[in-house]
Amino acid sequence: MQQLRETHRCRDILRMGPDAFLQLCEKLRATRQLRDTKHVTVEEQVARFLYIVAHNVKTRTVSFFYHRSGETVSRHFHAVLRAIILLEDEFLRQPSASIVSPAILHNHRFYPYFKDCIGAIDGTHFRVKVPIADQPKFRGRKDWPTQNVLAACDFDMKFTYVLTGWEGTASDSIVLKNALSRDDNLKLP
Protein backbone atom coordinates (compact mmCIF):
# COMPACT_ATOMS: atom_id res chain seq x y z
CA MET A 1 0.00 0.00 0.00
CA GLN A 2 2.98 2.33 0.54
CA GLN A 3 3.76 2.18 -3.19
CA LEU A 4 0.34 3.66 -3.99
CA ARG A 5 1.32 6.95 -2.34
CA GLU A 6 3.16 7.87 -5.57
CA THR A 7 0.64 9.64 -7.80
CA HIS A 8 1.68 8.12 -11.14
CA ARG A 9 1.80 4.58 -9.75
CA CYS A 10 -1.56 4.97 -8.00
CA ARG A 11 -3.14 6.28 -11.22
CA ASP A 12 -1.65 3.39 -13.22
CA ILE A 13 -2.87 0.73 -10.79
CA LEU A 14 -6.15 2.13 -9.41
CA ARG A 15 -7.05 4.74 -12.08
CA MET A 16 -7.22 7.51 -9.46
CA GLY A 17 -4.77 9.63 -7.50
CA PRO A 18 -3.78 8.82 -3.91
CA ASP A 19 -5.82 11.68 -2.41
CA ALA A 20 -9.00 10.61 -4.21
CA PHE A 21 -8.33 6.99 -3.22
CA LEU A 22 -7.95 7.86 0.47
CA GLN A 23 -11.08 10.06 0.36
CA LEU A 24 -13.04 7.20 -1.21
CA CYS A 25 -11.80 4.82 1.49
CA GLU A 26 -12.82 7.24 4.25
CA LYS A 27 -16.25 7.78 2.68
CA LEU A 28 -16.79 4.01 2.40
CA ARG A 29 -15.58 3.53 5.97
CA ALA A 30 -18.02 6.24 7.13
CA THR A 31 -20.97 4.32 5.63
CA ARG A 32 -20.13 1.56 8.14
CA GLN A 33 -20.54 -0.94 5.31
CA LEU A 34 -16.77 -1.48 5.19
CA ARG A 35 -14.39 -1.85 8.08
CA ASP A 36 -10.91 -3.13 8.73
CA THR A 37 -10.81 -6.83 9.46
CA LYS A 38 -8.19 -8.63 11.51
CA HIS A 39 -5.93 -9.04 8.48
CA VAL A 40 -7.24 -6.67 5.78
CA THR A 41 -7.67 -2.89 5.91
CA VAL A 42 -10.40 -0.99 4.11
CA GLU A 43 -7.69 0.53 1.91
CA GLU A 44 -6.52 -2.91 0.78
CA GLN A 45 -10.10 -4.05 0.09
CA VAL A 46 -10.85 -0.94 -1.98
CA ALA A 47 -7.49 -1.15 -3.79
CA ARG A 48 -8.18 -4.74 -4.82
CA PHE A 49 -11.69 -3.82 -5.98
CA LEU A 50 -10.44 -0.89 -8.06
CA TYR A 51 -7.64 -3.00 -9.54
CA ILE A 52 -10.10 -5.71 -10.59
CA VAL A 53 -12.52 -3.20 -12.12
CA ALA A 54 -9.86 -1.01 -13.75
CA HIS A 55 -7.92 -3.83 -15.38
CA ASN A 56 -10.59 -6.51 -15.87
CA VAL A 57 -8.58 -8.94 -13.75
CA LYS A 58 -9.92 -12.19 -12.33
CA THR A 59 -10.18 -12.54 -8.57
CA ARG A 60 -7.88 -15.57 -8.66
CA THR A 61 -5.13 -13.40 -10.17
CA VAL A 62 -5.59 -10.83 -7.42
CA SER A 63 -5.61 -13.54 -4.76
CA PHE A 64 -2.25 -14.75 -6.07
CA PHE A 65 -0.59 -11.31 -6.00
CA TYR A 66 -2.12 -10.23 -2.67
CA HIS A 67 -1.53 -13.65 -1.06
CA ARG A 68 -5.18 -13.95 -0.06
CA SER A 69 -7.62 -16.78 -0.67
CA GLY A 70 -9.96 -16.51 -3.64
CA GLU A 71 -12.90 -16.59 -1.23
CA THR A 72 -11.50 -13.63 0.74
CA VAL A 73 -10.88 -11.58 -2.41
CA SER A 74 -14.38 -12.36 -3.73
CA ARG A 75 -16.05 -11.55 -0.40
CA HIS A 76 -14.22 -8.23 -0.09
CA PHE A 77 -14.91 -7.37 -3.76
CA HIS A 78 -18.65 -7.78 -3.22
CA ALA A 79 -18.54 -5.89 0.10
CA VAL A 80 -16.86 -2.90 -1.59
CA LEU A 81 -19.29 -3.10 -4.51
CA ARG A 82 -22.29 -3.03 -2.14
CA ALA A 83 -20.81 -0.08 -0.23
CA ILE A 84 -20.20 1.88 -3.44
CA ILE A 85 -23.73 1.20 -4.67
CA LEU A 86 -25.05 2.70 -1.43
CA LEU A 87 -23.29 5.97 -2.35
CA GLU A 88 -25.31 6.26 -5.57
CA ASP A 89 -27.69 8.92 -4.25
CA GLU A 90 -24.78 11.03 -3.07
CA PHE A 91 -22.85 10.91 -6.33
CA LEU A 92 -25.57 10.59 -8.98
CA ARG A 93 -27.95 13.51 -8.58
CA GLN A 94 -30.20 14.59 -11.38
CA PRO A 95 -30.19 18.37 -11.79
CA SER A 96 -33.26 20.49 -11.27
CA ALA A 97 -34.78 21.87 -14.47
CA SER A 98 -35.73 25.07 -12.64
CA ILE A 99 -32.12 26.12 -12.00
CA VAL A 100 -30.11 27.55 -14.90
CA SER A 101 -26.50 26.44 -14.83
CA PRO A 102 -24.00 29.26 -14.16
CA ALA A 103 -22.07 27.99 -17.21
CA ILE A 104 -25.04 29.08 -19.33
CA LEU A 105 -26.39 31.98 -17.27
CA HIS A 106 -23.12 33.93 -17.32
CA ASN A 107 -22.24 33.35 -20.97
CA HIS A 108 -24.00 35.61 -23.48
CA ARG A 109 -23.31 33.10 -26.28
CA PHE A 110 -25.41 30.45 -24.50
CA TYR A 111 -28.03 32.41 -22.58
CA PRO A 112 -30.99 32.52 -23.29
CA TYR A 113 -30.69 29.92 -26.07
CA PHE A 114 -29.68 27.04 -23.81
CA LYS A 115 -31.38 28.18 -20.59
CA ASP A 116 -33.42 24.95 -20.47
CA CYS A 117 -30.42 22.70 -21.05
CA ILE A 118 -29.35 20.78 -17.95
CA GLY A 119 -26.54 18.68 -19.40
CA ALA A 120 -25.70 16.16 -22.07
CA ILE A 121 -26.41 12.48 -22.69
CA ASP A 122 -24.49 9.96 -24.71
CA GLY A 123 -24.30 6.25 -25.17
CA THR A 124 -21.21 4.11 -25.32
CA HIS A 125 -20.29 0.46 -25.51
CA PHE A 126 -18.20 -1.36 -22.91
CA ARG A 127 -16.55 -4.66 -23.65
CA VAL A 128 -18.03 -7.38 -21.42
CA LYS A 129 -17.57 -11.04 -20.62
CA VAL A 130 -20.78 -13.04 -20.92
CA PRO A 131 -21.56 -16.76 -21.21
CA ILE A 132 -21.01 -18.12 -24.71
CA ALA A 133 -24.75 -18.76 -25.13
CA ASP A 134 -25.51 -15.05 -24.53
CA GLN A 135 -22.73 -13.63 -26.72
CA PRO A 136 -24.76 -13.19 -29.95
CA LYS A 137 -27.16 -10.68 -28.37
CA PHE A 138 -24.27 -8.72 -26.83
CA ARG A 139 -22.30 -8.54 -30.08
CA GLY A 140 -23.16 -5.33 -31.92
CA ARG A 141 -20.89 -3.56 -34.38
CA LYS A 142 -17.74 -4.89 -32.74
CA ASP A 143 -16.19 -8.33 -33.02
CA TRP A 144 -16.65 -8.86 -29.29
CA PRO A 145 -19.56 -8.70 -26.82
CA THR A 146 -20.42 -5.23 -25.51
CA GLN A 147 -22.93 -3.62 -23.20
CA ASN A 148 -24.73 -0.47 -24.36
CA VAL A 149 -24.53 2.14 -21.57
CA LEU A 150 -26.35 5.48 -21.45
CA ALA A 151 -24.85 8.26 -19.32
CA ALA A 152 -25.87 11.85 -18.59
CA CYS A 153 -23.68 14.57 -17.11
CA ASP A 154 -24.12 18.17 -16.06
CA PHE A 155 -22.01 21.18 -17.03
CA ASP A 156 -19.52 20.42 -14.25
CA MET A 157 -18.87 17.04 -15.93
CA LYS A 158 -20.46 15.16 -13.04
CA PHE A 159 -22.54 12.12 -13.87
CA THR A 160 -26.22 12.65 -13.13
CA TYR A 161 -27.60 9.41 -14.57
CA VAL A 162 -26.16 6.07 -15.71
CA LEU A 163 -28.12 3.18 -17.20
CA THR A 164 -26.27 -0.09 -17.73
CA GLY A 165 -27.22 -3.61 -18.66
CA TRP A 166 -28.39 -3.33 -22.24
CA GLU A 167 -27.01 -5.80 -24.76
CA GLY A 168 -24.62 -4.44 -27.38
CA THR A 169 -27.20 -5.13 -30.09
CA ALA A 170 -29.75 -2.79 -28.46
CA SER A 171 -30.27 0.43 -30.39
CA ASP A 172 -29.62 3.76 -28.70
CA SER A 173 -33.28 4.78 -29.15
CA ILE A 174 -34.49 1.69 -27.27
CA VAL A 175 -32.03 2.34 -24.44
CA LEU A 176 -33.17 5.99 -24.24
CA LYS A 177 -36.86 5.00 -24.22
CA ASN A 178 -36.14 2.61 -21.37
CA ALA A 179 -34.24 5.31 -19.46
CA LEU A 180 -37.26 7.62 -19.74
CA SER A 181 -39.86 5.01 -18.71
CA ARG A 182 -38.18 3.37 -15.69
CA ASP A 183 -39.09 4.00 -12.05
CA ASP A 184 -35.62 5.52 -11.60
CA ASN A 185 -35.95 7.38 -14.89
CA LEU A 186 -33.83 10.01 -16.58
CA LYS A 187 -35.42 13.38 -15.81
CA LEU A 188 -35.78 15.82 -18.70
CA PRO A 189 -36.79 19.50 -18.45
The pLDDT value recorded for residue 150 is 93
20-29, 110-119, 164-173: range with lowest mean pLDDT: 110-119
pLDDT in tens, 5-35: 678 888 888 889 999 999 999 999 998 889 9
Residue spans of the domains in the chain: they are: 2-89, 119-181
Q: In the chain, what percentage of residues exceed pLDDT 70?
A: 94
Q: Identify which of 49-53, 58-62, 95-99, 103-107 has the greatest average pLDDT.
A: 49-53
Query: pLDDT-derived band of residue 1, with 50, 70 and 90 as boundaries?
Result: low
pLDDT in tens, 87-111: 888 876 766 667 777 888 888 898 8
CA–CA gap between residue 189 and residue 183 (Å, rounded): 17
Query: pLDDT-derived band of residue 149, with 50, 70 and 90 as boundaries?
Result: very high
Average pLDDT, the chain: 86
CA–CA gap between residue 54 and residue 21 (Å, rounded): 13
Predicted confidence (pLDDT) at residue 171 exceeds the cutoff of 70: yes
Residue 14, CB-side half-sphere exposure with 13 Å CA sphere: 26
